[in-house]
Chains A and B, each alone.
Chain A
Amino acid sequence: MRIAGRMVLAVALPAVLFAIWWFATANSTNFYLPPLREILRIFPDVWTGDRLRTDVLPSLLRLAAGYTLAVVAGIALGVLVGSYRAVRAVLEPVLEFFRAIPPPVLVPVIMLFAGIGDTMKVVVIAAGCVWPILLNTVEGVRAVDSVLADTCRSYRISGPARLRHLVLRGASPQIAAGMRQGLSIAIILMVISEMFAASNGLGFAIVQFQRGFAIPDMWSGILLLGLIGLVLSLLFRLVESRALAWYHGLRRVQRGS
């Protein structure tokens, strides 16, 4: 019963808003605000079939490649920087500077080196979202529990085992926080890099619709981007709650006591 109640609560407002949108635009003659019915009707035509293969899939692949690259590089460098106090002191201001550069301005810079192909987009995505992952990893590695570190030392746990069981494990909640920030930056950069210079991709397609005044198609693209953002963040949360189950449990116990 309580679960049913919560379900109703969760669905109620979105349903109401959706209904408002549907009825408010039902007879809309405003060129920029087409009826929702129209948008939903063309949605499958626009985004399934050819376009799925030529625009949506390449975008998502580039996103995956860039994000994976950023995660691997961010964690590797972060562990390195976080483990040595001197390295951290030397690099911290430089890293803060790079993090403060708004990622989209990297697009014109990286275009110089990598042209306008897939490489450019993957590099842009990676170069933009690596900073939160890197800096959070540094923080996480630095804040590894000193008792655990000493325990490791007295048991002579070192090398890969120490890295895996102490450093990465201990830093993983922070790393996950960085990865979550990185993911939303990665989606933004996927779209921006394609709006800037591309011959395919989601961002490209949406801008084409807008320039060609195919307004319902453009709206359907905005909806699709929103859905992708939502699904990816849900997926991330699912994976995170699995992988960090021990941490969330620990937090609950600590808070309860």
Chain B
Amino acid sequence: MRARGASPAVLGLLGLAGLLALVEALPHTGLVSADFLPPTSRIASALAGELGDSEFWYALRDTLVAWAIGLAIAVGAGVVAGFVIGTVPGLRAFTASTIEFLRPIPSVALIPLAVLMYGTELQSTLMLVVYASFWQVLIQVLHGVQDVDPVADETARSYGLGLWARIRHVLWPTALPYVMTGVRLAAAVALVLAITAELVIGAPGLGSRIAVAQASNAVPDMYALVAVTGLLGVAINLGARRVERRLLRWHQSVRGEVVV
């Protein structure tokens, strides 16, 4: 219980500072060559250089555009498909095996196909992003639609609510927490796939900038860009969590358990 002394935030900052200090110290001790792991100060100055370079901002924009479009398509398609499969009787059992079959196919298997079809255009990035994040959304939506309270559903039916009204007032609020979980997972996966596609295929963006830095042996720049992708990932995770809390303000899981 000694940890009570300092708040978790302070300890967390301590941990981050420790990481920075470690990376600064390691190359100086000679344990790792500075050619492989440059000290923090050099990575930081490379990062400053990147931030002052308009090319970097274009690359960042390209990555974020691919991420956003891909995520939007995947979420839209996943929600629609999930609701259709979940509400049409029998369709769920009919499609279950196919979904189970397609889902574990690694999206990187599509890389050669994307290259052949679209080259290094935005579409090849989108193809990978959409394929990978679609399943995250779909699976969660299916769980959500299944979770609907039969009493609420039957009440809505006996009040004569039509299909659309039931989807709007019963199904959608039930499924929304699941949808948001799916969106949060998909947002992280979409970033990974966007950067992967850029790195391997060479579509413009942060990933291809890392590939260029690696090819030209600009090691500090490479580390700086890798750190940027990590920070981007953290920002997306935190952002998605915030949006989730915001949209689910009314929901039990956010309001906290009500004492009965």
| Chain A residues within 8 Å of B, Cβ to Cβ | 6, 9-14, 17, 32, 85-86, 89-94, 96-109, 111-113, 184, 187-188, 191-192, 195-196, 203, 206-207, 209-210, 215, 218, 221-222, 225-226, 229-230, 232-233
Contacts and interface: CB of A to CB of B under 8 A. Distances in A.
Contacts of A89: 3, 6, 8, 11-12, 15
Contacts of A107: 199
Contact of A86 (B2, B101, B106, B213): B2
B234 A97 contact: yes
Nearest to A7: B97
Q: Lowest 3 CB-CB distances: which A-B pairs, in order?
A: A100-B233, A210-B112, A89-B11
Contact of A90 (B11, B35, B231): B11
Given A97-B234, A225-B105, 18 more contacts: A13-B94, A13-B98, A89-B6, A89-B8, A93-B13, A93-B16, A94-B16, A102-B233, A103-B192, A105-B210, A112-B219, A188-B107, A192-B199, A195-B111, A195-B200, A210-B116, A222-B112, A226-B104
Interface in B1-55: 2-3, 6, 8, 11-16, 18-19, 32, 35-37
Contact of B94 (A9, A101, A225): A9
Contacts of A112: 35-37, 219
Contacts of B112: 206-207, 209-210, 218, 221-222
Contacts of B199: 104-105, 107-108, 192
B196 A104 contact: yes
Residue among A93, A100, A222 with most chain B CB within 10 A: A100
A11 B231 CA distance: 44
Interface of B: 2-3, 6, 8, 11-16, 18-19, 32, 35-37, 93-98, 101, 103-113, 115-117, 188, 191-192, 195-196, 199-200, 207, 210-211, 213-214, 219, 222-223, 225-226, 229-234, 236-237
Given A93-B16, A102-B192, A14 B97 contact: yes
